[in-house]
Amino acid sequence: MVSESTGARLAERLGREQRERRLPSVVAGVVRGGTLAWWGARGAVGPDATATQYRIGSITKTFVAVCVLRLRDEGRLDLLDPVERHLPDAPVGSTTVAQLLSHASGLRAETDAPWWERTAGGDWQRLLASMRPEALRHRPGRRFHYSNVGYAVLGELVQRLRGASWLDVVQAELLGPLGMTRTTPRPAAPAVPGLAVHPWADVVLPEPEHDAGAMAPAGQLWSSLADLARWAAFLGGDTAGIVGPDTLAEMREPLVVDDQPGLPWTGAYGLGVQVWNTGGRRSVGHGGSMPGFVALVRVDVDTADGVVAMTNTTAGFSPELATDLTGILDEEPRDVDDWTPCDVGRDLLQLCGYWYWGPVPMVLHAHAGRGLELRPVSGRGRPSRFRPTAEDAWTGLDGYFAGEPLRVVRGTDGRVAHLDVASFVLTRGPYDGDADVPGGVDPDGWR
């Protein structure tokens, strides 16, 4: 839990948001250490605010994406597979699974007609009728183009490969194991009504709510503050084994930039999640909007601190709400884990210290689990972490050398001669003449 003073500041900010934005009701919370550390509610929410349902719209897409990635992890599909390999009736050209997940498919944003968010949805065959060749608005892979239709296709993909509806798969594989009992496809009391607030008068208008049919994977789910906080913890790293850390990290990598004309870009899209880069601070999650509702889950990649918020008005809350709540939470003292020594092994200990990429000094650190970290001494260069893959061999995890090999090269006497990092030779001294440096070292040496 946060301190009383921090809680008061968070509550004041939420109250100001409700009044200034004229929100019929709003609930919000901050997540720290995988739990709901503070929550607040304003307006006509009801007595059980953390369990009251709001429609979460496109946050639904994050659940669908995790189900697709679980299929990939099981070997049932590859992210580079053309979608038509699994859905031969889907006229999406050369679009790949990864492009659908990251909104880089070029597929149309919305259905042909009618406005799917406000009308009852049809089945897959009805959706197919609107997906003629001209449904591809852009060349696949060219640019970010948000596509609700694309996630309808992904929902059908999950259904074909699992032999069960995407909703049943989400329930069995995600909601059940995570204990998210208040996340459902249609409202289950207590739930607030969706409303529009008149722009020039303090009156409201009820918004319609329907089953979206084949379009449901794009934005069908309803959830509660407590459940959405659990999902924020999931995106922050507490996945309960549903996906591994490598898959979660892959989801959170920015793949396609959301480039707005005339503005510096601060947003991107990964595999099913939005990625924000605000002031050099990266966070992931998703926003959601449906008629009468706006919702948000946003999690800091480095700290796993998160913000969740939901309101029942079409116009929604201000874009500053999430960053303001995060900023207040940042001032709350954080528990610091103790440093403890670990056994890295004598062989790795011998590798630690200074190495030179030509004349550029770098430093190699050893970590628990035989992991290595290579960093330039100056702070500028090509830092990367490496995981062990075989004896004297590692593979890059991030940075310039992500996926590239690091090898220990030994001489005939078994001693370490140099490091080979993606063909670059690192030596114990600058251009060590005794090492096998490609291109050779001037025999007269330094002068």
Q: What percentage of the chain exceeds 90 in pLDDT?
A: 75
Give residue-wise pLDDT tens across range 168-219: 999 999 999 999 999 999 999 999 999 999 999 999 999 999 999 999 999 9
Helical packing angle, 321-330 and 4-20, nearest 10°? 170
pLDDT value at 396 more than 70: yes
What pLDDT score does 36 carry?
A: 96
Give residue-wise pLDDT tens across range 9-18: 999 999 999 9
Q: End-to-end distance of the chain based on CA atoms, in angstroms?
A: 63
Give residue-wise pLDDT tens across range 273-301: 999 998 888 999 999 999 999 999 999 99
What pLDDT score does 133 carry?
A: 61
Residue 130 CB neighbour total at 10 angstroms? 15
What pLDDT score does 199 carry?
A: 93
pLDDT value at 326 more than 90: yes
Among the listed residues 24, 45, 27, the one whose alpha carbon sits nearest the alpha carbon of residue 197: 24
Stated pTM of the model: 0.91
- Please provide the size of the chain in residues: 447
Average pLDDT, the chain: 93
Give residue-wise pLDDT tens across range 249-258: 999 999 999 8
Q: What percentage of the chain exceeds 70 in pLDDT?
A: 99
For tokens 């670990």, name the residue: 342
Determine phi and psi for 172, rounding to 5 degrees.
-75, -40
Rounded CA separation 53/221 (Å): 10
Rounded CA separation 338/306 (Å): 23
pLDDT value at 228 more than 70: yes
Rounded CA separation 139/304 (Å): 35
What pLDDT score does 108 carry?
A: 78
Give residue-wise pLDDT tens across range 76-98: 999 999 999 999 998 887 899 99
CA 376-382-388 angle, to 5 degrees, is 95
What pLDDT score does 20 carry?
A: 96
What pLDDT score does 18 carry?
A: 97
pLDDT value at 419 more than 90: yes
What pLDDT score does 31 carry?
A: 97
pLDDT value at 397 more than 70: yes
Q: What is the pLDDT confidence band of residue 363, given thresholds at 50, 70 and 90? A: very high
The tokens for 68 are 């697709």
Give residue-wise pLDDT tens across range 131-143: 766 677 888 888 8
Residues forming a β-bridge with 26: 42, 311
Q: Is the peptide bond before 114 cis (omega within 30 degrees of 0)?
A: yes
In the chain the domains, ranked by start, together with CATH numbers, are 4-330 (3.40.710.10), 346-427 (no CATH)
Rounded CA separation 344/106 (Å): 48
The tokens for 415 are 């001693």
Residue 171 CB neighbour total at 10 angstroms? 18
Give residue-wise pLDDT tens across range 347-360: 899 999 999 999 99
The tokens for 387 are 């995981």
For tokens 């020594």, name the residue: 341
What pLDDT score does 332 carry?
A: 92
What pLDDT score does 130 carry?
A: 74
